[in-house]
Amino acid sequence: MSRTDTDALVVGGGQAALAASYYLRRQGVEHVLLDAAPDPGGAWRHTWPSLRLFSPAAYSSLPGWRMPPTEGEENPDAGHVIDYLTRYEERYDVPVRRPVRVLDVRRRGEGFEVSTDSGSWRARAVVGATGTWSRPFVPAVPGLADFRGLQLHSGGYAGPRAFAGKRVLVVGGANSGAQIATDLLPVAEVTWATLGEPRYLPDHVDGRELFRVASARLRGEGEGVGSLGDIVAVPPVREARDRGSLVPGPMVRGLTRDGAVGADGVERPVDAVIWCTGFRPELSWLSGIEVPRREGRPVTDGTPVVPDVPGLFLLGYGDWCGAASATLIGVGQWARLAAERIRAA
Ligand code: FAD
C-alpha cells in the first residue's frame, strides 16, 4: 500500500472537519481530510425526518459562508444542512477523500503515522473530527436485556410511523428526547422519562444563544443566560409543552420482559423504548496513542488542544474540546485556534 505525506491530516468529513479545512487553508497549511462516509454531510445523513435545527439558517453557518435561507420561517431540516455542507466543500475546494477509514494513528518522530483502509499517511499534525453519532450510549438500566419489545437509540430513529398505536417509553431529558417524544405524540402513547426536571432555554432564545454563551466563555465572561445542555424550545416542542401534551416524568427504575418499573415501583406495560441518552466520541482510531483520560475522554485544556500529545487536536465532540464546538456555528472559533497552533508549531 502507498504512503503519502501531508502537513495536517484531518480525520472525518463532517461539519467540524470542514471548518478545520477552512482555517488550515487560510493559514496556508497543506492538509487532507479522510472521511469514512461515501458522501458529504457527516451525521446529518443519519438524523430523523422531523429534526429541525435549533436556529434559523443564518445562525447555523460554518466560517466564511452563510447557510442559505430556507423558505418560510421554519428552521432548516437535515436535508438543507447536507446540501449546504456539500456545496461548502465545492466552494472551498476542500481536499477530502472518500470513503477512507482511518484505522490507527501512532506517534512517529515529531509527527504521526496514520493507517487507513487504503494506504498510510505521515503527518505533522492530526485533527480528530470523527463526531459522536456512530457511538450511541445506552445507560446500564436493570432489566435491559430482559425487555422483549423494540429498543432503539435516537441515532437509529427514522420517524414515528413504526410506533403508531404503541406504548412508547422515551428516555432522556435533552434535545433529542424532547424532539422525539414530541414527534411521537400524535401517533403513540408516550411516556417521557428524564433524570431530573428538563431545563428549557427561555423561549425567546434559540441556537444563537448557544453561540453567544460559548463566545462569552471564550472571552472569560462566564456563562450568560442558559446552559449549553438546555433544551431549545423549537416550535413543535414548545407547542406540545404549552398545551400540556409533552410532560416529563421521573426516570424508570428498570425494564421487565414487557414493561418498565416506574419510580413509584409500579410496573407498566411498554411496547418500545427509545434511548435518547446521548453519544460518546468516536475515537477508536486513537487507541494506539497514550492519552491521559478523564471520565473516559482524552484530557484537553477545554479547547481542541491535547496538552500531552503535541500536534494532536480534537475538534467538535462537545464542550470538553471547546464550548459549543458540536454545533455548526460554534465549531469555527475552535477550528481557527487549532489551525493557528498547527501553523505556528
Ligand atoms: P459528524 O457529523 O458525525 O462527522 C464525522 C465524520 O467522521 C463522519 O462523516 C464519519 O463517517 C467520519 N468518521 C468517523 N470515524 C472515522 C474514521 N475512523 N476515519 C475516517 N472518518 C471517520 N448542531 C447544530 O449545529 N445545530 C443544531 O440545531 C443541531 N441540532 C441537533 C439536534 C439533535 C437532536 C442532535 C442529536 C444533534 C444536533 N446537532 C446540532 C449536533 C450535530 O448533529 C452534530 O454535533 C454534528 O453533526 C457533529 O459534527 P462533526 O463534524 O463533529 O461529526
Q: Give domain 3-134+280-344's CATH number out of 3.10.310.70, 3.50.50.60, 1.10.3720.10, 3.40.50.1820.
A: 3.50.50.60
> How confident is the prediction for the chain on average, in pLDDT?
92
CB atoms within 10 A of CB 80: 21
pLDDT at 159 > cutoff 90 = yes
Query: What whole-number distance in Å separates Cα of residue 290 and Cα of residue 268?
Result: 47
Are 16 and 132 within 8 A, CB to CB?
A: no
> Which ligand 1 atom is nearest residue 154's CA?
36
* Residue 179 beta carbon below 6 angstroms from any ligand 1 atom: yes
* Residue 102 beta carbon below 6 angstroms from any ligand 1 atom: yes
Domain 150-275: which topology?
FAD/NAD(P)-binding domain (3.50.50)
The candidate with the shortest Cα–Cα distance to 247, out of 157, 185, 176, 158, is 185
pLDDT band at 225 (very low <50, low <70, confident <90, very high): very low
pLDDT at 182 > cutoff 70 = yes
Fold agreement (3-134+280-344, 150-275): yes
Q: How far is CA 231 from the centre of its chain?
A: 15
User: With pLDDT > 90 as the criterion, what percentage of the chain qualifies?
Assistant: 79
Q: Average pLDDT, stretch 189-214?
A: 80
- What number is the ipTM of this complex? 0.96
**Where are the domains positioned within the chain?**
3-134+280-344, 150-275
Task: Output the CA 132–ligand 1 centroid distance in Å.
Answer: 6
With the most atoms of ligand 1 within 8 angstroms of its CB, the residue from 327, 333, 334 to mutate is: 327
With the most atoms of ligand 1 within 8 angstroms of its CB, the residue from 133, 208, 317 to mutate is: 133
This prediction has a pTM of 0.92
Query: What whole-number distance in Å separates Cα of residue 160 and Cα of residue 138?
Result: 20
Residues 304-318: tens digit of each pLDDT: 999 999 999 999 999
